[in-house]
Amino acid sequence: MRKGKIYLLIAVFIITFGGVALIYNDIYSFIIYIAVILGIFIPAYLYGRKIEESNQLYINEITDKIKDSSDKSINKFPIGIIIIDNNKKIEWANNFIYKHLNLVDIIGKNILDVVPEIEDLFGIDTVTDNQFNIEEKYYKVNYQKDSGYIYFFDITDIKVVMQRFKDTRPALVLINIDNLEDIYDELDDESSSKLDLKVTTTLTEWAKKYGIFLKRIDEDRFLGVLNIKNLKDIEKEKFSILDNIRDLKEEFDVQVTLSIGAGTGTDFLPELGELSKTALDLALGRGGDQVAIKDVDGTIRLYGGKTNPQEKRTRIKARVISNALADIIKESDKVIVMGHKNPDFDAIGACIGILEFTKLNDRECYIVLNEEDIDETISKVMLEVEEDKDLFSQFITSDDAWDLMTQNTTLIIVDTSDSYRVIDVGLLTKSNKKVVIDHHRRGEDIIANPLLTYIEPYASSASELIAELIEYQAKNKKISQTSATIMLGGMVVDSQNFAVRTGSRTFDAAAYLRSNGADPIKVKTILKEPLQNLRNRAEIISNSIELTEDILVAIAPEDKIYTNVMLAQSADLLLTIKGIEASFVVGRLSDDIVGISARSLGNKNVQLVMENMGGGGHLSNAATQIKTENLNEVNYELIKNIQKILIDK
């Protein structure tokens, strides 16, 4: 630039000088002028050409570098690019697509014919990011709808690292030998030692197989540490260790079972310990012989539960619970008791039992029962209650209970432990002091923070449990004849006339109620039903099909509405057929609710089937309700779950 200015000044000077020479006709000066011009402008021209050539060479080099960089970014970097038109036909693809997705001759073809794995990308109108498994690799795929560009980012290495991280996260398991003391009581010392050695050896071999660090921490309990990958492998086998331990019965002639609780989802070991403890409590609360896995996000997975729960309650425990409940009641200003939604005979009997228990401890008690909760059977029970004015006066509605409840009122929930199944969730939320008494297996939505929980899945009914608690408080006092009769009715209904889930303690409780004036004839009278009910059951049973040689499924006529009791009675009746181990009945409870009642003789766990469909209950007695208008769809889902859980297990 500086030289250019100098040349410009010289040129101006020469032109000026040449002009003067021409003006004065000085030929010598003019010759000198021409020579100077040639001497200056020829080098200047040559220098300019050299600069121009140098600049052009520099520009060409830069252009080549940019082009090479562009080619590398499009064809050599680990990013795939496909351009499609409005009809999803491929217009162009870079080398990455051909090389890594093993594609050839794709121009003009529909993208979904070439890469069908990314079909979900085109289901939304906006820009979409998703991860897909293509040709055994993982890609994050970004689709720009406006431009038609689809970008494929290879994230396989990231996925591998993340999976390795997930697989190596810790899991904690607590293993409990169920009823160990009772088992040892049945065996002599030599057999007990052999059984203990066999159980320990079986658990140790299982732990070695799946990479578990196993340590015995008590006579009947083991602690195991493993990683998530190994836990998944064990889950694929559906915890076959339960079957291995259960099979020891053939050798030792005693029922040996395990309960396992596992905690997952966090690296913080104290939290894992709490999760595994909670999971074990859940497994034990559901009757044992099963596994509960609880994740830090609250999800629970269940395995096992193939055998009827063994009696774990002792009279000592019952007396301790009875005294603890009495202490809680004495420290309360009053008691409010409620059962589950659509209460049955046992729920009402249990509520009345709590009322009698409370009276023995000099406190007032009120039973929550709303008009809409009363069905045909309960209406007959209430007719019996109305004859006892003192008893009838203690029944109140949810609104009345809300007004009566204070900070010092104890709310007792009977015949359910699930928070969403109680008659009034609002009362549950308002109460500061809660007690739970139930005979069903614990579910995931168990009532939180109760002062006392008494859940015994082996018992025939909640009425049985409460009758035994009353016995420890009554001393020389008696409960009313009406109360004893209704409680006995609850036991009769839930045990199917003392045919299922009936232990020696069941008959002891029934005998106690009978000694207090319980009238079995009145129970039978209350349970009498119209002829039409028998016809309805016959109609339902006539629609049954043999799913297998020992499983029956009946679907009620679609144009009729039935009660829970009707479906349950029909399932019970199907179970009386020779060779049948499990029965299921599907029917409408209303225009938009379909109910399923499930029964078994104890060899098949119908509870697992019902839990899979949003319900619950007991190993041999379970049910669910599904909000839908499509009866056939529910029946299809039921058969699919039976196939998966009971047949293809």
Residue 132, pLDDT > 90, answer no
Average pLDDT over all residues of the chain? 85
Residue 224: predicted pLDDT = 96
Q: Which of 61-65, 438-442, 493-497, 538-542 has the highest mean pLDDT?
A: 538-542
Residue 64: predicted pLDDT = 54
Residue 301: predicted pLDDT = 86
Q: Specify the CATH class of 533-647 in words.
A: alpha beta
- Least confident range from 270-279, 614-623, 633-642: namely 614-623
Residue 28: predicted pLDDT = 66
Name the 3-class secondary structure at 226: strand
The CATH number given to 315-526 is 3.90.1640.10
Q: Are 347 and 414 a contacting pair, CB within 8 Å?
A: yes
Q: What is the spatial order of strands in the sheet that 544-548 belongs to?
A: 544-548, 551-555, 582-590, 593-600, 621-627, 616-618
Residue 480, pLDDT > 90, answer yes
Instruction: pLDDT band for 19, please (50, 70, 90 cuts).
Output: low
Interacting residues of 276 by C-beta distance below 8 A, sequence separation 6+: 172, 173, 174, 261, 262, 263, 294
With CA atoms as reference, report the closest residue to 232 among 156, 288, 169: 169
Residue 521, pLDDT > 70, answer yes
Give the mean pLDDT of 13-30.
57
Residue 69: predicted pLDDT = 46
List, as own/partner pairs, every contact residues 568-577 make where C-beta atoms lie below 8 angstroms and the sequence separation is at least 24, other chains included: 568/597, 568/599, 568/623, 569/533, 569/537, 570/537, 570/540, 570/541, 570/597, 571/597, 571/598, 571/599, 572/496, 572/599, 573/537, 573/541, 574/541, 574/544, 574/599, 575/599, 575/600, 575/601, 577/552
Q: Specify the CATH class of 79-159 in words.
A: alpha beta
Instruction: pLDDT band for 505, please (50, 70, 90 cuts).
Output: confident
Q: Which of 257-266, 311-320, 438-447 has the highest mean pLDDT?
A: 257-266
The CATH number given to 172-304 is 3.30.70.270
Give the residues across from 143 on adjacent strands: 128, 150
Residue 197: predicted pLDDT = 93
Give the mean pLDDT of 469-482.
90
Hey, where are the domains in the chain? 2-74, 79-159, 172-304, 315-526, 533-647
CA–CA gap between residue 598 and residue 624 (Å, rounded)? 9
506-517 pLDDT, tens per residue? Answer: 999 999 999 999
Radius of gyration of the chain (CA): 41
Residue 25: predicted pLDDT = 54
Residue 420, pLDDT > 80, answer yes
Q: CA–CA distance from 81 to each of 88, 121, 148 (Å)?
A: 14, 15, 10
Residue 427, pLDDT > 80, answer yes
Interacting residues of 395 by C-beta distance below 8 A, sequence separation 6+: 366, 367, 369, 382, 385
Instruction: pLDDT band for 624, please (50, 70, 90 cuts).
Output: very high
With CA atoms as reference, report the closest residue to 588 among 545, 636, 540: 540
Helix 345-360 and helix 376-386: axis angle, to 10°?
30
- The neighbour count for residue 182, using CB atoms within 10 Å, is 14
Give the residues across from 454 on adjacent strands: 437
Residue 32, pLDDT > 80, answer no
Name the 3-class secondary structure at 457: coil
Would the pTM of this model clear 0.85, i.e. be above it? no
Q: Would you give the DSSP letter of residue 253? A: S
Between these two residues, 535 and 619, which has the higher pLDDT value? 535
In the chain, % of residues over pLDDT 90: 44
Give the mean pLDDT of 206-228.
94
Instruction: pLDDT band for 129, please (50, 70, 90 cuts).
Output: low
Between these two residues, 226 and 44, which has the higher pLDDT value? 226
